[in-house]
Amino acid sequence: MTEETNRRRRGKEEAPPAADTEATLAEEAPESAQEGEYETEDVAAAPAEGSKGDFLSEQRRRESLAIDVTRDFPDKYRLSGAMEGCSDEQKLELFERLVKLRLFDARMRKLFRQGRFEGTYYSQIGQEACDAVLTYQMKRDDFVGPSHRDLGAAVGKGVPLKFLTAQVYNRVDSPDGGRYTACHYWHPDYGVMQPATSIMMNWIAATGAAFGYKMLGKDNVAAAFGGDGATAHGDFHEGCNFAGVHRLPIVYVIQNNLWAESLPLHLTSALENLSDRAKAFGFPGVSIDGNDVLAVWNATRAALERARSGEGPTLIEMKTYRWFGHSDIDPADYRSDDEVEAWMAKDPLPRFSAWLEDEGLLDDETLGGVVERVEEEIETAVDFAESSAKPGAETFLSEVYAESYPGFDVRAGR
């Protein structure tokens, strides 16, 4: 990085205007922005507190901070240590996937507000490290059971953005042909299952996949993701208990962002650390800073090795935070501004980029190349989705039931 950036990070002077690349990202606003899009607000103005303009300005401020992946942060959150078994090439590749995840997420939020696709949008900004770092380390044919806020599970696994964008748009070129919910990212060719609308069904499916791997004698591993509130669901306990009894090759991840939609953590669990639940099922549990890429890498690496070697499951609680509402139609006014700001200071991307800089792996030229490649893929993905057709009514009932099965005539019932 430049000496100017280094001085900013040491906190010795006020942050200067953002670099050209970052400014371009922050100013991005398609001309077709409709009324209600944040870019129609004058953020330099000072709207009345509590007004719609005040809310929109705050949302845009957070987005501008989110896409500045090298911005300053408190020294107490600076990372130290090593990423065990991770080459320099892998560190930079993982960083690029995290940047891709962040910028893609921010772009989808804007497109949703412009009315470019139907439904709603579940932003993952702030908690990207929790799933992407784990799935990046998995084999392509390993099984991943994501939840509704797990874009990173697919990006970490390497699913091309064009398919994920087509999924958001519900177009025929998406993995399910445009017949399912936007933001339920998946792709069968990459081992990422289709998320279920019913919370924690993915937990059970991933447990079943792990059981299958063990029965077949394969060295594959499964992973499942859920939120803090989801640990109160019966499927959580049933899946964990079954995995513990059979010592299944699976890694369970609780993404504890403190809120189950609008329900605070203390109303869903009496535990300080949700990983303590693992004791009841007979396998290890660990709680870590989910915004510390190094901690996430090392914990998930150990859990994957444990699972793949036949030692059984691990439950990892990753303490993290989502910057925005449960979905983009949720103002999240049940959270205090102080709480949000405190967690924004722990943003995983600037912390990781600073560590890469300290390691001598990231400079302005390298960062510029990362951003350029990511922006190009995002633009290509959006064009792909918007040029893809919407599914016709004749497809609504297709693939509801199995249409073929080896040795069985499904239609004839024999």
Q: What are phi and psi of 229, to 5 degrees?
A: -65, -30
Q: What is the pLDDT of residue 194?
A: 86
Average pLDDT, the chain: 87
Q: Which two tokens stand for residue 279?
A: 């004791």
Percent over 70 (pLDDT), the chain: 85
Closest by Cα among 7, 17, 69 to 353:
69
The pLDDT of 380-391, averaged and rounded, is 97
- Write the pLDDT tens digit of every residue in 184-225: 888 999 999 988 888 899 999 999 999 999 999 999 999 999
pLDDT in tens, 115-133: 999 888 999 999 999 999 9
**Whose CA is closest to 59, among 110, 117, 22, 122?**
110
Q: Which of 10, 127, 132 is nearest to 78 (CA)?
A: 10
Q: How many other C-beta atoms are found inside a 10 Å radius of the C-beta of residue 403?
A: 9
In the predicted structure, residue 38 carries a pLDDT above the cut 90:
no
What letter would DSSP give residue 64?
H
Least confident of 13-17, 143-147, 197-201: 13-17
Residues 6+ apart with CB under 8 A from 106: 63, 66, 67, 125
Q: What pLDDT was estimated at residue 119?
A: 86
Catalytic residue set: 322, 326, 334
What is the per-residue pLDDT across 153-166, written as a single tens digit (0 to 9) for each?
Answer: 999 999 999 999 99
Residue 48 has pLDDT above 50, yes or no: no
Distance CA 65, CA 70 (A): 10
Task: Give the best-scoring range by mean pLDDT among 331-335, 373-377, 409-413.
Answer: 373-377
Domain residues of the chain, as ranges?
87-332+340-388
Q: In angstroms, what CA-CA distances link 135 with 106, 153, 162, 370?
A: 21, 6, 19, 20
Structure confidence at residue 181 (pLDDT): 76
* pLDDT for 164: 95
Q: Which residue has the higher pLDDT, 25 or 329?
A: 329
pLDDT at 179: 81
Give whichever of 8-12, 222-226, 331-335 has the largest mean pLDDT. Answer: 222-226
pLDDT of residue 12: 37
pLDDT category, 414, cuts 50, 70, 90?
Answer: low
Give me the pLDDT at residue 120, please: 87
The pTM assigned to this predicted structure is: 0.85
Query: Which is higher by pLDDT, 106 or 400?
Result: 106
Which pLDDT score, from 0 to 100, does residue 11 have? 43
Q: What's the topology of domain 87-332+340-388? A: Rossmann fold (3.40.50)
Please give the biggest Cα pair distance in the chain.
Answer: 76
Average pLDDT value for residue range 358-377 = 98
The pLDDT value given to residue 203: 97
Q: Give dist(CA 93, CA 87) in Å, integer.
A: 10
Quick one: three-class SS letters along 360-413?
A: CCCCHHHHHHHHHHHHHHHHHHHHHHHHCCCCCHHHCCCCCCCCCECCECCCCC
